Amino acid sequence: MPLTVTMPQLGESVTEGTIARWLKQPGDAIAKYESIAEVITDKVNAEIPAPADGVMSELIAPEGAVVPVGQPICSIETADSASAAAEPSAAAASSVPAQAAPPAPATPQTMSPTQAVQPAQTHSASEAGTAQLGPAPSEPLAAEVVGAVAETQTDTQPETQPQPPSPAPTGSSAEPSGGNGAAGYHLTPAVRMLVREHGVDLREISGSGLGGRVTKKDVLEYVQQRDAGPVARPSSAPAPATPSVVSTAQAAQPAPSPTSVQPQQSPVPFTAGEGDTIVPLTPVRKAIAEHMVRSRQTSPHAYVMVEVDMSAVSTIRDRERAAFEQRHGVKLTFLPFVARAVIEALQRHPTLNASWSDAGVVVKRNINLGIAVALEDNLIVPVVRDADRLSIAGLATTMADLGARARSNHLKLDEIQGGTFTLNNTGALGAVMTQAIINQPQAAIMTMDLVVKRPVVVSDAIAIRPVMNLGLSFDHRINDGLQATRFVTAVQKLLEGMDPSGTLV
C-alpha cells in the first residue's frame, strides 16, 4: 500500500500545522529522510522528512491547508507498495489494504467467490457498516475511516451489501492497520466488537482519541444517543465534533476540529478600496496572526514596568566585552545579563514560570528561556533549555548561536519548543516602552527596552545613569499584580545589585 504521511506532532501544545510548500510533487523520486514539505506551526518553519524511499504519489493536503496533527498530508508509493499493487490477490489475502486508495475512487477490484469466503471475513462485519460508504475527499472523517478501514471496499457493489452488520462477505479483508505508524488511525478490538454488535456507521462518529481515533467510549456514547432518539445526520460539510463525543480532557485543550484539510479563511469578507493593495498572507503571517489572536483571547494580559539602573551591568560589560568578543567571537550585549537575572528571579517566583490549566496552575520544573528573535518576515522564539544551568557567558554564546541559526532558518524543532518564559530584547530595535503579547502557553513575557543615559536622582543629587525600562506582560489568571511586581522588581534588584567587579561566570 502507499505509505500515508501524516502531520507530525511539531510541539507539545501544537495541534495543527500549515503546509507552506510542497518540496516534492507527484511523480518525484524521494529518498528516505529527504525533506518533502515545509510546514508552519505557530511560529516556525519545519521541514517534514520522508519516512521511506519511494515516489511521491499524491498530495492530500494542498499548500496553505491547515492540517491537524495525525491527519494525512500525502502518500508515497514505496517499492513494497508497488509490488503489492501488482498482485492484487496476494494483497487482498494479506491483512493490508491493497490499493492506493486515494480519496478518489480507487481502482476497481473484483472479488472472486473464493476470496469472499476466506476466513478473514469474520472481521468483515465491522467493515460492512462502512463498506457502502464511498470515500469523499470533502469529508475528512470519511477519509479517515476509508484510510484505515474501507480502502479496498469502495469498489464492491454497495447495493449488494447487507445493510446491517450480519457477517456477510464483503470482499477483501481490508483490516485496519495495527497502529503501526503511518496511518496512525486504527480500530481497537473493543471498537470493532461494538461496531459489529450495534451496527454502527463509523462515519457518523467523531473520534475523540489519539489522532482522531474512534474510541470505545465514542461508540458507546454514539449508540446511546442514537438509540435514545433521532440523530442529526452530519451534513456533507465537515462539522466540528459535537460536545457529547468530545471527551472532557480534550475539551480542555483547543480541540482539533475534524476538519482535516481546509484552507484557513479570513473570518470577515473584505474588499479592497480604490488604490489599496492587498499583500497576500504568507503562511507565516497567518500563523503569527492566529497565535496573537489566540493569546489575547486566552490570557487576560496585565502589565507592569520598572526602570532599572544598569550602571553595574554596564561597568562589567564595558570591562569584559573586548576580551569576550575575542575569545568567543560573539558580541557581549545586555541580553545575557538580563537573562541571568530573569532566571534567578524565576527560581524565586516559580508561578511566573508556569502555565494555566483547568486542573490548576502548572508550575514548570525546568526553566527553558525563550528569546524572541525578530526577522524581516517572521518571529521566532528559540529556546535556551535548562537556562538555569548556564552562566552569563554560557547564555551569551548559546543565545548568539540560536539567534544566528534562527536568522539562517537552521533551528531544529526541539530548539523552538518547550519554552517556559520568554524574554524579548526590544531595546535592540530602539524601543523604550513595549507591551508584548504572551507566548502561549506561558505565564508571562518580559521586554527589555533600550538602555538610555538619563539624569536620575541619587542620594538627593542628580547623576547620569544608564537606565532601562523592563516590562512584563503577564497572564492575570495565573498571577496578580503582587506576584508580577515582586518578580519584576526582583529582576531589577538583581541587575542593579550586580557586583561591578564581578565576572561573567
Contact residues for other proteins, defined by CB under 8 A: 188-193, 209-210, 213, 215-217, 247-250, 252, 358-359
Q: Which is nearer to other proteins, 2 or 212 (CB)?
A: 212
> What's the Rg (C-alpha) of the chain?
28
Q: Which is nearer to other proteins, 82 or 255 (CB)?
A: 255
CB of 210 to other proteins, least distance (A): 5
Q: What string of H, E and C letters represents the secondary structure of 202-252?
A: HHHCCCCCHHHCCCHHHHHHHHHHHHHCCCCCCCCCCCCCCHHHCCHHHHH
Which residues make beta-bridge pairs with 74? 5, 59
CA distances 23 to 37, 84, 108, 286, Å, are 5, 27, 31, 20
Rounded to an integer, what distance in angstroms lies between the CA atom of residue 429 and that of residue 374?
9
β-strands 362-363, 301-309: how paired?
unpaired
Rounded to an integer, what distance in angstroms lies between the CA atom of residue 190 and that of residue 479?
45
Q: Which is nearer to other proteins, 358 or 460 (CB)?
A: 358
CB of 188 to other proteins, least distance (A): 5
CB of 343 to other proteins, least distance (A): 20
CB of 193 to other proteins, least distance (A): 5
- Residue 250 burial (C-beta neighbours within 10 Å; 0-12, 13-18, 19+): middle
Rounded to an integer, what distance in angstroms lies between the CA atom of residue 143 and that of residue 139?
6
Position 251, amino acid: A
Distance, CA of 201 to chain centre: 30
Q: Which is nearer to other proteins, 85 or 193 (CB)?
A: 193
| Nearest Cα residue to 338 out of 322, 354, 316 | 316
Write out the E strands in 410-460. Answer: 421-424, 444-458
CB of 121 to other proteins, least distance (A): 17
Q: Which is nearer to other proteins, 190 or 375 (CB)?
A: 190
CB of 191 to other proteins, least distance (A): 6
Spot the catalytic one: 53, 276, 480, 499. Answer: 480
User: Is 480 an annotated catalytic residue?
Assistant: yes
| Nearest Cα residue to 81 out of 48, 109, 55 | 55
Distance, CA of 424 to chain centre: 22
Q: Which is nearer to other proteins, 15 or 439 (CB)?
A: 15
Contact 316, 502 (CB under 8 A): yes
Rounded to an integer, what distance in angstroms lies between the CA atom of residue 175 and that of residue 93?
10
Q: Which is nearer to other proteins, 279 or 359 (CB)?
A: 359
User: Is 186 an annotated catalytic residue?
Assistant: no
CB of 209 to other proteins, least distance (A): 5
Q: Catalytic site residues? A: 476, 480
